[in-house]
Structure 1
Amino acid sequence: MTTSPSSPYPYRLRLPGPISIPERIRQATARPIINHRGPEMRVVLEEIQRLIQPLFGTKAPVLTFGASGTGVMEASLVNVLAPGEKVLALAHGQFGDRYAQIARELGAEVDVIESEWGWAPDPAVVAAKLETANYRALITVHNESSTGAVTDLAAIGRLLRDRDTLFLVDSVSGLAGMELRQDEWRVDIVVTGSQKALMCPPGLGFASVSEKARKVIERDDRCPRFYLDMRKALATVDKHETAFTCPVSLLFGIQESLRAIHEEGLPQVFARHKRLSDALRAGCVALGLPAFGDPASASQTVVVASVPEPLSAGPIVKHMYETYNTVIAGARNKLNGRVVRIGTMGQISEAEILTDLHYLELSLTALGHKVPAPGCGVAAAIASLR
């Protein structure tokens, strides 16, 4: 079993992705490899398609790529843009900034609406900006895992109802952990990755494509594309095939993950994520680590807690790992040192949350932070869970 150099405790991966893989899914990825073009693979891909569409909230095809979340973010843009076209980016964290940068690298003219980190984009500000130019695409992040803020996709989608502008959304850390209604909210492309609430190893990317987006994707005047060409993927998806060699083992894992999600039931999965994230957030607040950002847009899949001075996040993350073999995250951006981030996605339990808070309290105390009362974080979480 993996351990830190000095800790006797079992290894606990508590990042906001990649996450710890449930044993049934890990075992599924170890099945013998099968013919990636054979009838047995088509059965697997057909089941994945049928089970994953409800997570997107769509009846549109969901395309599969051997790629990370960033890879399918690029795929969403390279298939709808021509160099020089205008993109409106709603950025309220690290991954919104990344989405905008990908568009710039593809030659788009990018306008950015910057929201304060921790707060979701304001639909009224977006509405006003849309009146100033004709945008090929509006891009944003559903669940900004760097800040813990969730975008109101329904409100943004309503603004685009009568426009040619395509609505592109990164839900890498949101999908399967919170509700997403792509068709109802008029989102044209949603992208996600395998390593977060889908509970699989990194390496698979998915993109769902609306009919409105498909009409643009099929044009020949878009950016140059080959491996990430959605035209190739769309031509094979109804045959339950992939355009290029698929990561067979990862698809076995996704198949098993989707079965587990549907066995529990989507409403139950979403309610559990909210319940556990609320409890962890309450425990952090009780320990003297206030929730970062706007509570009205708080994530269900990651808890972002502010670190009070004179503490810094780095020593907390280090102590949690070296002493308790528990891996949580700080920030690799302008919030560096100011926040800690803990994932609340996948098949985690109440026990995981209470363990997080127990180790966090011990780490804070060891670093000189005086908590209000022994066990107060765990007690606050238990009260939230009742």
Structure 2
Amino acid sequence: MRQRLFIPGPVEVSQEVLLSLAKPLMGHRTKDFEEILIECWNMLKQVFKTKNDTLIITGSGTSAMDAAIASCISEGEEVICITGGKFGERLAEIARSYKARVKEVEVTWGETVSIEKVEEAVANSSAKAITLTHNETSTGVLHDAEKIGKIAKEYGLLFIVDGVSSVGGNEFKTDEWSIDIAITGSQKCLATPPGLAFLSVSNKAWEVIEDNDTRNYYLNLKFYRKSLKKNTTPFTPAVSLIYALHQALKEVFKEGLENRIKRHSILAKATREAVKAMNLELLPKEEVASNTVTAIKIPPKLSDDDIRGVMRREHGILLAGGQAQLKGKIFRIGHMGNVSYAELLGMLSALELTLKKAKHDFKLGGGIEAAESIIGKI
């Protein structure tokens, strides 16, 4: 049985993207490859909604998070890190690994950050930067990057935003929201195989980076800037993955970026309505829920295996579990990338059968009906 991915990355990719991986390799310093890189950089600018430089790193999304912190923050400097989930906490962990003084704005997992708490933390600090995970993959919460960007701008701080599970699926406006370094990865909303990370870097951030004595080598963004001016990369890139990225980005713009974001929004709304109709409880409040991943509480009488295990074994569908303190307490449905409405309905149908087998109390077919009521309004 072929396994279908409904996890928040990696995601299913198109046949055209898969085929692009089989193309013959070319020299990474050739004119032909340079043209592909330039097109990718330009399309990434449109995805990020920025006029800033865009960079491609061969590595996971975490490599770009590491690069941003290492290139901007010196030992002993203060950073305000908004947590509230596994990946918000990861930014704080990276900052600590470079001997920064981390001031956390703690957020209960499943809730959104208090803007008042952020402003209070900034006003009573000597911080150089604020970090935020825009779309917290571990909880399905979307934070208000726009309001936090205004605070960062008002106080003259760098604003570093992890948009790994957000860019291309949620509204994300790098320049308008005063984001100095925006980060995303290949394996989520852009529907490219894992292994590439992307950043947009503002002029303000470049000034800081050029003046910073980073301890990193491979992820030193100064090297990437120097190579960018020559239309190349500082180190050998994953050539085949960049072929795949090139094809995937063309598919994004064939659909239309705004259409893609709208589709993600409809998928998310349909999923939430279906889940409620199945007598399941969402982890976050709907007004702060993500477009790209839905986090759902496991009913008290059921186990993780009753849901995710059966979905995998009997229906060939992979869902994500909870992480850290939420392990065994929630499951997560990823509906990002190229997921179609028909594919979503198929997954929800399998979830209904799984819950029925577990003797969960709900009306069979109610979830599908609720989802169709949302999709049918298109």
Task: Give the TM bin, normalised by the shorter chain.
Answer: over 0.9
CA offsets per residue over residues 164-189 of structure 1, 9 Å max, x none? Answer: 32110111110111121111100110
- Counterpart amino acid of residue 34 in structure 2: R
Shift of 1:236: 1.4
Answer whether contact 1:42 1:239 (CA < 8 A) is retained.
no
CA distances 1:55-79 after superposition (whole Å, capped 9, x unpaired): 1111111111111011111000000
Q: Any idea what the Cα deviations from partners look like across 1:91-144, whole Å, max 9, x if unmatched?
A: 111111111111111101101111111222111111111111111111110100
Which of 216, 221, 229 is equivalent to 2:220? 229
Aligned-pair identity in percent equals 35
Structure 2 Cα separation of the partners of residues 33 and 176 of structure 1: 28
- Who is 1:7 aligned against? none
Q: SS in structure 1 opposite 2:327?
A: coil
CA distance in 1, matches of 2:303, 2:67: 37
Decide which of 35, 43, 50 is 2:27's aligned counterpart: 35
Unmatched segments (≥5 aa) in structure 2: none
Deviation at 1:332, TM superposition (A): 2.3
Counterpart of 2:374 in structure 1 is 384
Aligned to 1:147: 139
1:252 is aligned to 2:243: yes
After the TM superposition, which of the residue ranges 334-343 and 78-87 deviates more from structure 2? 334-343
Distance 2:104 2:303 in 1: 30
Does residue 262 of the first structure (1) align with residue 248 of the second (2)? no
2:160 aligned with 1:168: yes
Compute the RMSD of aligned alpha carbons: 1.1
2:293 to 294, 299, 302: 302
Structure 2 residue aligned with 1:138: 130
Residue from 303, 306, 318 that aligns with 2:309 = 318
Residue-by-residue CA offset, 1:197-238 (whole Å, 9 max, x unaligned) = 11111110111100110001001x433121111111011113
- Looking at structure 2, the residues matched to 129 and 172 of structure 1 have their Cα atoms a distance apart, in angstroms, of 25
Aligned to 1:126: 118
Match for residue 205 of structure 1?
197
Residue pair 2:214, 2:220 contacting (<8 A) in 1 also: no
CA contact (8 A) 1:83 1:223 kept: no
| Residue aligning to 2:10 | 18
Q: CA deviation at 1:313?
A: 2.4
CA contact (8 A) 1:134 1:165 kept: no
For 1:383 and 1:64, locate their aligned partners in 2 and report how far apart those are by CA, in whole Å: 40
Aligned residue type for 1:256: Q
Does the 8 Å contact 2:356/2:364 carry over to 1? Answer: no
* Cα distance in 2 between the residues matched to 1:27 and 1:301: 26
Asked if residue 182 in structure 1 is aligned to residue 191 in structure 2, the reply is no
The corresponding residue for 2:264 is 273
How far does residue 268 in structure 1 lie from its aligned partner after superposition? 0.5
Q: Distance in 2 between matches of 1:235 and 1:120?
A: 38
Q: Which residue of 2 aligns with 1:336?
A: 327
1:365 to 356, 362, 374: 356
In 2: Cα distance, 1:353 partner to 1:282 partner: 13
Q: Give the counterpart letter for 2:111 in structure 1.
A: W
Partner SS for 2:312: helix
Deviation at residue 365 of structure 1 after TM alignment: 1.4
Is contact 1:69-1:191 (8 Å) kept?
yes
1:92 match: secondary structure: coil
- For 1:278 and 1:30, the matched residues in 2 are separated by 36
Q: What is the CA–CA distance in structure 1 between the aligned matches of 2:278 and 2:342, rounded to whole Å?
A: 18
- 2:274 corresponds to which of 277, 283, 294: 283
What is the rounded CA distance, in whole Å, between the counterparts of 1:211 and 1:259 in structure 2?
A: 27
Aligned residues: 376
Residue in 1 aligned with 2:364? 374
- Counterpart-to-counterpart distance in 2, 1:189 and 1:135: 16
Q: TM-score, normalised by structure 2?
A: 0.97
SS at match of 2:105: strand
Equivalent of 1:194, from 144, 164, 186? 186
Separation in 1, partners of 2:58, 2:115 = 34
- Is the contact between residue 149 and residue 297 of structure 1 (CA under 8 Å) also seen in structure 2? yes
